């Protein structure tokens, strides 16, 4: 489910939304590296500055999802997208995946605005990424027929590690992580049809072979699981 075997070209073809999101992350980060004060000021107007939102700059509830403060921040969020998002994009389709991603990020940012002080500022895609994990949690709890037990255990383990480690670093936007996951979980029923509406055989047809929700444990898969855990720890232990 979370192991990738596609080459670069195939990945772009199978997961266009994830590919575009990663490209947007990289593009905006590169723009931030250009030593042009006016450009940095312009990009600074789209971070999650609570006082700006209070003054009617509501675009700040969306734009921070696409900005990152440093290369490590960019790297771990982008890798997390590459690992966690493709299977969900194939399951939901492009439009629903974009919707759940943006909505989860907005829920995280709205909660940050409500709970954190006016001078609080933040950027990063972590809230939206935790929203993706929230959708997976909904599948584990309410759509058991769409995922096997091994992958369910992996998802629960990732979520538990993520939530526990969220509280271990003062630089993390704890509110965004928690409410991003809650947002994904709450809105999942609106984008995931009931189990009876899925055709088991069509879902596991060759067209979905690369995102089949099954897992036979082998040394290769164990290495991938360890890699995912390391990525998750990297996602937690940096600015969010």
Q: What is the DSSP letter of 68?
A: -
> Which residues 6+ apart lie within 8 Å of 55 measured at CB?
none
Average pLDDT in the chain: 80
Q: What is the CATH number of domain 8-236?
A: 1.20.1540.10
- Tell me phi and psi for residue 96, to 5 degrees: -70, -35
pLDDT of residue 189: 92
pLDDT of residue 228: 58
Give the model confidence (pLDDT) of 175-224 as tens digits: 999 999 999 999 999 988 765 333 333 333 334 443 444 434 454 454 55
Active site residues: 126, 177
pLDDT of residue 111: 95
Q: What is the DSSP letter of 115?
A: H
How far are the Cα atoms of 11, 173, 187 from residue 211, in angstroms, in the given order?
12, 31, 22
Cα 239 versus chain centre, distance? 15
pLDDT of residue 234: 55
pLDDT of residue 194: 67
Q: Where are the domains of the chain?
A: 8-236
| pTM tops 0.75 | yes
* Encoded tokens for 158: 């990732």
pLDDT of residue 205: 38
Give the model confidence (pLDDT) of 7-54 as tens digits: 888 889 999 999 999 999 999 888 888 887 777 777 777 889 999 999
- pLDDT higher than 70, residue 103: yes
pLDDT of residue 105: 95
């Amino acid at each position: 489910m979370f192991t990738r075997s596609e080459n670069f070209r195939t990945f772009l073809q199978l997961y266009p939304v994830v590919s575009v999101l990663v490209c947007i992350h990289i593009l905006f980060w590169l723009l931030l590296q250009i030593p042009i004060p006016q450009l940095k000021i312009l990009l600074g107007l789209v971070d999650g500055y609570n006082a700006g939102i209070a003054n009617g700059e509501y675009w700040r509830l969306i734009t921070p999802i696409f900005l990152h403060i440093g290369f490590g921040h960019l790297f771990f969020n982008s890798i997390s997208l590459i690992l966690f998002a493709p299977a969900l994009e194939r399951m939901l389709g492009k439009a629903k995946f974009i919707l759940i991603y943006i909505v989860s990020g907005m829920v995280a940012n709205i909660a940050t605005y409500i709970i954190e002080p006016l001078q609080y500022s933040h950027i990063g895609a972590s809230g939206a990424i935790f929203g993706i994990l929230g959708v997976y949690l909904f599948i584990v709890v309410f759509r058991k027929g769409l995922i096997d037990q091994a992958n369910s255990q992996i998802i629960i383990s990732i979520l538990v590690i993520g939530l526990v480690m969220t509280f271990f670093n003062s630089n993390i936007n704890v509110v965004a992580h928690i409410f991003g996951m809650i947002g994904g979980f709450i809105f999942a029923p609106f984008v995931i049809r009931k189990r009876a509406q899925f055709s088991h055989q069509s879902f596991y047809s060759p067209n979905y072979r690369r995102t089949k929700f099954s897992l036979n444990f082998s040394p290769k898969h164990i290495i991938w699981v360890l890699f995912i855990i390391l990525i998750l720890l990297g996602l937690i232990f940096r600015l969010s």
